[in-house]
Amino acid sequence: MATSRRVERVAELIKREVSQMLLSGIKDDRVGSGIVSVTDVQVAGDLQHAKIFVSIYGTSEAKAETMAGLKSATGFVRSELGQRIRLRRTPEVIFLEDSSLERGDKVLSLLNRLSEERQLAQPDEADEVGAEEG
């Protein structure tokens, strides 16, 4: 069983190498249809599986196309990782879309809208309180 520090180190190495591959190694045109970045890599404790989370900037069609390209490139990515990272056994690679940045943007815009609505509503409430007292 691998130690958690080793698992973290392997995850960081995979993140760095896959990021490099996204820039120059994967020849599938679909992968270039959106701007792709690796946001996180989660490696199983036994180092047998690696979940690679990617953030894709672009239209929903570009995102779907990019994910299809990445899924078809998993064999290439795994063999490249096997050459670049010295491990007894190269982990199985799974690409997953990370939409946390989008969710964060939505939450921020909702919070901003609530804040604006509160600011607009407050003067009215103050007027009502003043009218009741007088």
Taking only the tens place, the pLDDT of each residue in 89-103 is 999 999 999 887 778
The mean pLDDT value for 1-14 works out to 86
- Show contacts of 101-104: CB within 8 Å, 24+ apart: 101/39, 101/55
Strand partners, 53: 40, 96
Q: In what order do the strands lie in the sheet with 49-57?
A: 35-43, 49-57, 92-97
Domain ranges of the chain: 4-98, 100-134
CATH fold for domain 4-98:
GMP Synthetase; Chain A, domain 3 (3.30.300)
Q: What are phi and psi of 24, to 5 degrees?
A: -140, -5
Whole-model pTM: value is: 0.74
- How far apart (Å, rounded) are the C-alpha atoms in residues 32 and 98? 17
